[in-house]
Each structure stands twice: as C-alpha cells, then as structure tokens.
Structure 1
Amino acid sequence: MTALTRTRWSITARLTLLATGIVLFIECLIYLITAHMRENDTRHDLMWAMEHSSISVPPACTWLVVERDGVVTGTPGLPAGFPLSESLRHAGAPRFEQIELDGQSYRVLTQRRGDEAVQVVLDERFHLLERQNLLFAFSVALLLSALTVVVVVPAGSRFLFNQAIKPLNEALARQQRFVADASHELRAPLTQLHTRAQLLARKVDRMKCPEALAEEMRRLVNGTRQLGDVVDDILRSAISAEQPRSALVDLAELANEVVAAEDARASETGLVLEVRQAPGQFLVPGEASALRRVVIALVDNAIGHTPADGTVVVTLETPTQTTVRLSVRDNGIGFDQADERSLFERFSCGTAGQGQRFGIGLSLVREIVEAHHGTVSAEGRPGVGAVFTVDLPAATPAITWPSTAPVSVTPRARSTGVHIARR
C-alpha cells in the first residue's frame, strides 16, 4: 500500500467517523426531544382521561378505577394487579407512577376528584413499540450514512484530489524532463572535458613538467570526474525512483581529496586546511558521490565563514566500533547555538559568510546524512568558531584506539596550504 493510498484511507476513515458522529448526535437529540414530547403527551392523555372519561367508556388502552365511600369499581378487563390500593387509598394531588407487571409497562395516574378517588391505568405497549421503531429507523439511518460516506467520499476525494494535483503533476513532469534533458546534454561536454584533462595530464607526465603543474592536472582530472558523477546522479534520480546502489566508501580518502582540491582557494585567502585522522579504518556503506558532496559542503561552509589566516580542520575518528565520525572545525565567525536547528533548514543562510550563499548546502548535508542513516550536528559560539559533526554507521566494526588529546586549532598567520596529519 502506497503512502498516497494510506492517506486516502485515513481521510476516508476520519470523514466516516465524523459523519457518523454527527448523525449519531442528531439522532440522540431527536430521540431526547421525541421522548420528552411523548412523556408530555402521556401525562396529557392521563389528565384528559381523569377529567373527561368514565368507567364505561374509557379511551383506548386505558382503564379507570373509582373508589367512592369504600366501594371500588373499575373498567372491565382491568389488568391483574390493579388497582393500586395503596395509591388509591391515599389519593390526593395528581400522582404519576410507572408500573411493570408481567413484562408489561403501565403508566398510572391517581387523583382525588370531588368525593371520589380515581385511578387511570394506561397500557404503554404501543408507546414502547413506537419507540423501538424509532430506534430501528435511527440505526438504519446511521448505517446508511456510514455506508454512503465510505462509498461516496473515496470516489469524490479521489476525483477532487486528482483534479487538484493535476497541474502539480504536470509541473513536476516538466521539471523532471528538463532535469533529465539538461543532465543528458551536459554529459557529453563533461566527458570530452574529462578526456582532454586526462590527455593533458599524460602529456605533462611525459614532458616531465614541474611537479606542481602535474599535481594541478591530476586535480583537474579528479574534479571533472567528480562533476561527471554529480551529473550522472542527477540524471539517475530524474529517470528512476530507485535508490542508488550502496558501496563501501572511505571517508578518509574523500576528505583528503576535498581538502587537496581546495588548496588553491585556501592559498588565496591564507587559510590553513588540515586533515587529521586517528589510526584505523573509516569505511561506511553509501554512495561515494553523495558523501563527497557532504564533505565539500561542510569544508566550503567553513572556508566561507573563516577570515584570512584562519584554520579549518577536518577530523576523522571512530568514537565507537559501529560509528565513523567526520567533523569540520574552524576558528571563524561562529554562530549562536540557539540557531543550530535553522542552520540545516532549506534556504536558511546568514549574512556574515563570504561570497554568495544560497542556504542549500547544509540542508543537502542533512538530507544525505539522514539518507545514510547518520546524524549531523553543529556547535559554535560567535567569534570563536564552529564545528560540524557527522556520525555515520561503520561498514564493519571499526578499530578503536586509545583516546588522545583533543585537536587544538589555532590560526597560523604565515602558513598556508594543505596539511595532512595522523594522530
């Protein structure tokens, strides 16, 4: 059962309960009003019989008993058990009673009328039958209303739902086609760019150019390959709803690649980028290109919020045998801890960072990490810096090592470039 089907059934069930409750409330109200009116009618009938009827000609289903000077006379056919001698003996003001005899219900009015005591007995069987018929009609109405809601609401809601989301489906379909077409068209030039970068890298190696130039060419090859992976991910997600296949990903390798790729950018601003990893393995199950975007977004965020001559440290640890932790710490402008939750909301971006910020990077980080069954958190203080921590399930029980002193991050005013340290 799809989520949409479950939602429809949930709405139908709620509407059915609501409609049934409303009908039941109305029926109860009608029944109470009817019962009150029937009680008033019964009392009125007894009073009328008391004042206008005689023993020989009583109303239908009614018997009269008259006691005068100790002599009691009554309508022929008076039910056994009547008259009520005690009530008749002490007759005075009108006295109404409900009597059950031999499974039959009777209403009795006893009153003194002049120099005689009169008792009127009314058989309520027809009143009770009328009440039972009313309850039966209410039950049928309640059942029919519930069935009507169950049958009509799903059909109506399905029609209205389809009509309401039709424009949205069309817009999503157009968007999906655009993303698929754009991604497909980008693959060819990116493949050509990646191929040319590889050819240039090979020529540089054969020409024995300076190592710095060769290293930059290798980074260019890696960058074009990673960009192609991103486009392939977008194309795959646009044409298929299947989840990407999981593989073993080395977070340490990704961190080193990302930090190395940011070397030129760090050198321009005088930042120090470091990768510090404890001994051990840092393998996690997941999609390499997606996890690479996590590291890229966190490092980019740290660089964008760290002033010149600052320090950004990427640390890899295994706090438990089942967890791999990657943290990105900076000594930049920091943030108010009360704003942690909003940091990971889509399109939420501050105004203190360098460059144009769109408020998407950290939101994507949270979505990717949660899709990999991990967690992401942030800690910071204004003017002190921030640390973003990602915990992911380890692919195999990670090798833990004795705890060491915590990483101390201090700015290096005269040192730039990439530093890879092992603790």
Structure 2
Amino acid sequence: MTVITPERAALGRARWSLTARLTLLTTVIVLLVECVIFLVTANMRENDTRRDLLWTVAHSSLSSPPACTWLVVERDGVVAGTPGLPAGFPLVESLRDADVPRFEEVDRDGQHYSVLTQRRGDEVVQVVYDERFHLMERRNLLVAFGVALLMTALAVAAGVATASRFLCERAIAPLNEALARQRRFVADASHELRAPLTQLHTRAQLLARKADALECPEALATEMRRLVNGTRQLGDVVDDILRSALSGEQPRTDVVDLAEVADEVVAAEDARAADTGLVLEVLRGPGQFLVPGAESALRRVVTALVDNAIGHTPPGGTVVVALEAPTAAVVRLSVRDSGVGFDQADGRSLFERLHRGTAGRGQRFGIGLSLVREVVEAHDGTVTAVGEPGAGAVFTVDLPAVQPAIPLPRGESASAARAALYWARGAGLHIARR
C-alpha cells in the first residue's frame, strides 16, 4: 500500500505543474512559429500570384491563357475575352481606367479571383485568376499546422511527464527510504510499548480494586482510579500511533464529550498544579459539548494546551479551561492563563513546528502546539491564540458540534446526551456534520 505523505503529494503537484507549464510554453512557441510560417507563405504566394499576373499580361494571348486564368482584351472600344469567362467579368470600370496597373481581389458567386488590369501597347488587358486552389492549399496548410500543434503538445506532455516522474522518483527515493525506516521504528517502538503498558494498566486496575475492597481513604481510591484512566489513555495513544504507522489509517471517528475530556485532563493535572501553586479549574457554559472525532487525539489537544498554560504561569496564578457553545453548530474550548503571555505579533508562529518560547518553565521542544493545530484542523476546526506580554494568554479551539443536538431533561449530564446520541445512531437516525 502506497502512503501518500504530504511531501509526496506536494512533489506530485509540482511535477504536474511543471508538465503543464512546459507543455503550454512549447505549444505557444510552436504556435508562434506556425503563425510566422503561415504569414510568410501567404505573402510569398501573393507575390507569386502578382508575378504570374504580370507575366500573363505581358506574354499571353486569348488563344493560350495559363491554367485557371482568363483574359479580356479591349482594343479601340472592342472587348474580347477567353471562352468560359466567369460571370461578372470583365470589370468595365477597370478597363476604362487602366493608365496604371490595377490589382484587385474580387468575389463572384462564392469564388475568389485576383484581377490585374494593365495597358499593353494600344490595347488594355485584364487578367482574371481563379484563387480556389490557392485557398484550398491554405486551408490544408492550416489543418496540417493544427494537427502538428496537437501532436507536439501531446508529445511534450507525455515526454515531460515521463521524464519528470522518473527524475522525481529518483529524487524522492532516499526520502521514501527514510520515511519507511521511520515508520518501522515507530511501529516497532509502539509495539514494544504495548506489553508493558498493558501490564501497568492491569496492575493499576488490581490496585484500584484492592483499594476499594480494603476501604482505603477516598483520596487514595480516587488517585488509583485516575492512574487506571491514565494508563488506559496512554495505551490508546500508543494504539493510535501503531495503527497509523502500520497502515496510514487515521483514528476512527466517534462522538466525543469534550466536557468529560476536559474534566479528565484537569483532574490528571491537579497534583502538578498544586505542586506549582496554581489554581486549575473547568468552567462550563450552558449546552452540550459533543463533537465528532477521535477521543484520544482530542484529549492530546486539551492536554497540550493545559500543559502549555501551566508551564507559562507563575505560582499563584490561575488556569481556566472554559467550555461553551456559541452556536448550535460550534463547540468552543478555551484555555486561559494569567501567566507571562506573549507578543501578539508572534501569535501565528506559536503553532509552527519547533517554535519554542523562552519564558516557560521546564524543557520545551516546540512540538505540542503544532500538533494541536494539526489535530484541530484534521477535525475541521480552528485554533487561535490571543495574548499580551505579562497579561496571560487565551488559546481557543472551535470544533463542529454533532448535529442534531439531543434535548435532555433539566439536570441530565453530557454523558447522558452522549448515550442518547449513541442510541439515536443505532436506531438509524441521521446525524449530520457541519
């Protein structure tokens, strides 16, 4: 199975763009050359016709005109012509005024004629030349030029496409090999991590059950349950990475309660926030917060934003994760902190890969926010950042809401909404995405 990576797709677009441009350029050049040849040929043919007419006036007689030519001779008011003279000839006005040679183009009965009227001694000679064969040659020449232009365009397109494909394949061969090695490494590492993570998750479950059986303090039991959730979520992440590395398959789309995800992330970060002297809380507005997507991926988004906020907020500060539904089609999650903030001019570069700030605590790799943007855009959403130096920052994620929303009795939780939505999907009701 060939995996279409962004680099390979960009290279393919560049290759086809190069083929199109070279084909267009070659076609235009050939067209210009053909136009020049046609104009030169037409001019030469017109000059040849004039020379033939002049020669006919000087040397031909009524009894022996050249092919496709008729003669009219006027002497002392008497006009005589070659048998078969086309209707509409001679041109009487031209015969009367023949002091200087007169070249004319005349159409009669759908035919085109070249006419020369000139005095020869004591008589006036008018030569009528039928241009039908010359016009036929001109049309044939245009058809030949058109066929040649088409064949040239096809040949250039095929040749350039073949050559560019060959060169591109050779150019990206090292990249493909490097990507294949990287994919194998990620797959092998993910596979090796699955076994110890499964064991860790199992042991965490056993400890949580023992804590409940032994009636341990509620705080300890709660932490054990959080440990179970954390190991399960880590296993989900590893499974997503392994699945993507093996087949390029994207995580399956499901219905995700963003409020529950935010609660779980904040609960997991409570101890860290307490250690650094921060207040970490979740605020919910009215409405439901159900979105279509991959739960593990969206959890990484919330985790990265909360981690970024904690890392840039000094002790005594606050980090607030807020959820709201500004419209029926949008679910909004924002992470606001009272930390060091940033210059708004740098807002766009925050989401660039390997961009690292200098004011945060701990080691920063410049990957978290770029992954946030990639995941959000893959879910048809948007992410923005607003900040001010020394006045904190707000990161806002807008995602399309699951449609239609399911009305619930007052007091029901979002979990109940999700359960109802699952029931609706199982019953075959239509669920549309924005």
Please give the TM-score of this superposition, normalised by the length of structure 2.
Answer: 0.79
Q: 1:291 to 1:115 in 2, by over 3 A?
A: same
Structure 1 residue 32, shift from structure 2 partner: 2.0
Q: 1:48 to 1:252 in 2, by over 3 A?
A: same
| Corresponding letter in the other structure for 1:92 | D
Is contact 1:68-1:116 (8 Å) kept?
Answer: yes
- Which residue, out of 214, 230, 236, partners 1:229? 236
**What is the DSSP-based 3-state SS (H/G/I as helix, E as strand, rest coil) of the residue aligned with 2:314?**
coil
Query: Which digits, 9 at most, give the CA deviation of each residue in 1:344-385, with x for residues without a partner?
Result: 333333333333333322222222223333332222223222
Equivalent residue, structure 2, for 1:388: 395
Q: 1:41 to 1:266 in 2, by over 3 A?
A: same
Task: Decide which moves more: 291-300 or 301-310.
Answer: 301-310
Structure 1 residue 243, shift from structure 2 partner: 3.4
Confirm or deny that 1:119 pairs with 2:126. Answer: yes
Equivalent residue, structure 1, for 2:36: 29
Structure 1 residue 326, shift from structure 2 partner: 1.6
Structure 1 residue 388, shift from structure 2 partner: 1.5
Query: Which digits, 9 at most, give the CA deviation of each residue in 1:293-343, with x for residues without a partner?
Result: 011011011112222221111112233334332211112222333443333
Confirm or deny that 1:314 pairs with 2:321. Answer: yes
Equivalent residue, structure 1, for 2:284: 277
1:273-352 to structure 2, matched below 5 A, reads 273-278=280-285, 280-352=287-359
**Partner Cα separation in structure 2 for residue 85 and residue 394 of structure 1:** 89
How many residues are treated as equivalent by the alignment?
400
Structure 1 residue 264, shift from structure 2 partner: 2.8
Equivalent residue, structure 2, for 1:356: 363
Is contact 1:321-1:400 (8 Å) kept?
Answer: no
Structure 1 residue 82, shift from structure 2 partner: 2.9
Query: Which digits, 9 at most, give the CA deviation of each residue in 1:167-195, with x for residues without a partner?
Result: 33333222221111110011122223333
Confirm or deny that 1:176 pairs with 2:183. Answer: yes
Structure 1 residue 241, shift from structure 2 partner: 3.4
| Corresponding letter in the other structure for 1:253 | E
1:53-64 to structure 2, matched below 5 A, reads 53-55=60-62, 57-64=64-71
Please give the TM-score of this superposition, normalised by the length of structure 1.
Answer: 0.80
Which of 1 and 2 has higher RCO (CA within 8 Å, sep 6+)?
1
Structure 1 residue 10, shift from structure 2 partner: 8.5
**What is the DSSP-based 3-state SS (H/G/I as helix, E as strand, rest coil) of the residue aligned with 2:357?**
coil
Is contact 2:70-2:128 (8 Å) kept?
Answer: yes
| Corresponding letter in the other structure for 2:108 | L
Equivalent residue, structure 1, for 2:254: 247
Query: What is the aligned-residue identity percentage?
Result: 75
**Partner Cα separation in structure 1 for residue 277 and residue 59 of structure 2:** 114
Is contact 1:319-1:400 (8 Å) kept?
Answer: no
Task: Decide which moves more: 129-138 or 58-67.
Answer: 58-67
RMSD across aligned positions (CA):
3.5
**Partner Cα separation in structure 1 for residue 401 and residue 201 of structure 2:** 32
Structure 1 residue 231, shift from structure 2 partner: 0.9
Structure 1 residue 90, shift from structure 2 partner: 0.8
**Partner Cα separation in structure 1 for residue 288 and residue 108 of structure 2:** 91
- Which residue, out of 65, 68, 73, partners 2:72? 65
1:127-206 to structure 2, matched below 5 A, reads 127-146=134-153, 148=155, 158-202=165-209
| Corresponding letter in the other structure for 2:366 | G
Q: 1:400 to 1:48 in 2, by over 3 A?
A: farther
**Partner Cα separation in structure 2 for residue 346 and residue 16 of structure 1:** 37
Equivalent residue, structure 2, for 1:39: 46
Is contact 2:286-2:325 (8 Å) kept?
Answer: no
Is contact 1:317-1:324 (8 Å) kept?
Answer: yes
Q: 1:142 to 1:385 in 2, by over 3 A?
A: same
Structure 1: which 5+ runs fail to align? Answer: 402-423
- Which residue, out of 89, 94, 98, partners 2:96? 89
| Corresponding letter in the other structure for 2:94 | S
Q: 1:330 to 1:398 in 2, by over 3 A?
A: farther
**Partner Cα separation in structure 2 for residue 32 and residue 294 of structure 1:** 67
Is contact 2:322-2:334 (8 Å) kept?
Answer: yes
Structure 1 residue 130, shift from structure 2 partner: 2.0
**Partner Cα separation in structure 1 for residue 406 and residue 356 of structure 2:** 35
Q: 1:55 to 1:278 in 2, by over 3 A?
A: closer
Is contact 1:321-1:399 (8 Å) kept?
Answer: no
Structure 2: which 5+ runs fail to align? Answer: 410-434
Structure 1 residue 125, shift from structure 2 partner: 2.8
**Partner Cα separation in structure 2 for residue 75 and residue 282 of structure 1:** 99
Q: 1:400 to 1:115 in 2, by over 3 A?
A: farther
